[in-house]
Structure 1
Amino acid sequence: MFQALTPITLVAPDASARAAFIPFGATTTNFWVKDKHGKFRDILLGFDDHTLYQSDAKGHPYFGPIVGRYANRIRNGTFTIPISKDASGPNKFFISSGNNTLHGGFDGFDRRTWQVARVLPNSVTFTLLDPAGTQGFPGTVLTTVTYTLERKSTWNINIHAVASAKTPIMLSGHHYWNLEAYQESQDLNGHIAQFQASKFVATDGNLIPTGKLTSVAGTAMDFRKAKSIGKSIPDTAAAQFCGTGFDNCWIFDKVQEKSPALSIWSVNSGIKLDVFTNQPALQIYSCNGLFNASLPIPRKVTQGGPNEIYADHSCVVIENESLIDAINNPEFGVDQIYGPDRPYTWEASYVFSTL
């Protein structure tokens, strides 16, 4: 019997990668791959004390879980089925989460203990039953997530969900990465990213989509050519995207499951990550508000802790997903309502290598 915080460790068949998980939130707690010197590094942020995932004693940064039933934000915590602009139509639903819902509400998928359905040396499958009416969402949803470590440092994530009635579903993994494991630097200057996205979702001062898609041309948001994430952060303040730092959703120019949707690497550790996914968009968060002076989060021992803390702009969250708050913006032309005749599927492969 697996308890909420029981660690489950997987090893790739060729021992090229290792990872650890807990049933609470279907959370990934550690991820080890080799650097350019052939030494393993744990490049995923998290808590050494696993009770902190449950207690929120050090805040709730969403370290490594599956977020849902609807990832990211929902304007005013409301939507309609069928969808309408800013929930202006009939058949309205209210999510109990304050003004704007984040990651499924106060009791999202990240705060539930998932069932362990299957464990193999290199794979684990979690399931979660989300009853109708929970947090205000219609329909009962059964979600299955399988994490598999394959040869050549490849991490496959497969998420499948089925609903008993029409309901919005948008899921994602919420993983914080520092490809140096904080060994060479404490910022993102050495982290280089590239992805083909000509537009991003425009948001208001609360990071809620306005319904417009904005060109990245001439802005800090343009990663069509490889550039430093950290060195681009100061330029975000002038454009007033979301204060200083990235917390934005880009739309891929094409969904190409056989080509990397995103490439990110550290020039210091030599660790590179190529992401392949069936999702049409990408949310990147540069850990803008991770540090809280009254509640600092100790880094894991594998990342120089516990006497050192996680600082702002020292890590990056990668969320492969659909367009955020499309359920309040019909002009996006994205159907995020699922039901008995339309299951939900999310797939991604994280392929690690060295420069």
Structure 2
Amino acid sequence: MKAVILGSGYAGLTVAHRIREYSKDIEVQIISKSKLVRENTIFPLLLTDEVKVEDTEFDAKEAMEKKGVNFVEADVEDILLESNEVKTSKGTFDYDYLFIALGGGYEENFEKLPGHEFAFMHHTLDGFLGLKKALYEAEEGSKIFVGNAAASPIEGPSYQVALISEYILRKRGIKDREIYLATQSPKGVFGILPFDWVSDKANKYFEKRGIKILRGKYVKEVKKDKVVLNDGTEVYADVKSILPTLSAPEVVKKSGLELVNNFVKVELPSFKARKNVYALGDSAMGMVPAKTARSAMVSAENAVASFLKDVKDIYLPMYSQGVLCIMEGGDDSGILRFDKNSKEVKVFLDFGKNYVLFKKIYSKMLVNSAFNLKYHASLTI
């Protein structure tokens, strides 16, 4: 039996680790564009030099081949569902089971945003390094805009970039600075959660830091000296950093899998898209709107639990996705947790300097293990 995994991010590597943990006889193959993998949830700390680029990266091919997992560096060109094959730049590979973990099409969706060339995307390494340079070159009276495009299901990084931008300009002594943060929810920060007290507390914290929250706004267009929002509001800004609308990548969308709002439709909580196909992480619809690394790993744990039950009669727990966001903020940090199952709901929001230390430790563990961490602080289903 052969399981093929497309992608070597949080979800893809979690699938490979977990299958190999419980079965030595299943052939496992990863197909990924690059063997160099970076733990990008810690990228905001590149802005403050608290981590270095080399602290975020590892060789996934080396790590997985030590476990007997075949790693192919190739571009995925076509997913042939009817023949159980994947066409790549290195040839065509067959599969018995397929795990699609190709992410949310960040780069291709960012390029669809009108005027994207005038903004940074705070997701890629190049985006963060470019943003860092701009923040340290900002002059008196500089205006910084941070936000998301329409229906972008990942605002946590935008919150962090706004906080760190305020910190850098404040520490540099930049006078008359203005930091704008656009939130898609009219409730403001963390407005997607059904708890008004969470947004109220978060909004007050951001405003205390001098950040101007533009509620219920998203970016429609970027121009050289401003951004145009959904209601026609124009915000003048010298530095603009934006996360795009996400979707399953084009190669996944053209595969014939059923889509919901441009994400692969899956059964929950198993993330099964077809009898022998799973779609994970940012490529698939999820239990919660937010797309995060933790959600990607949880989707992988659930998919493997479903897979091993079907093929090996092995029973593993499944988990709820929820939201866990640790915000780096320069000289301060914060944490939000929201999890629920049929028995309980856990909601926690706090701000304090020590939370960023937890994030740095966890990030180092992710890198050192090639994303092989079983505990995600998620509730079982």
Alignment TM-score > 0.5, same fold: no
Larger Rg belongs to: 2
TM-score by length of 1: 0.26
- Higher percent of residues as helix: 2
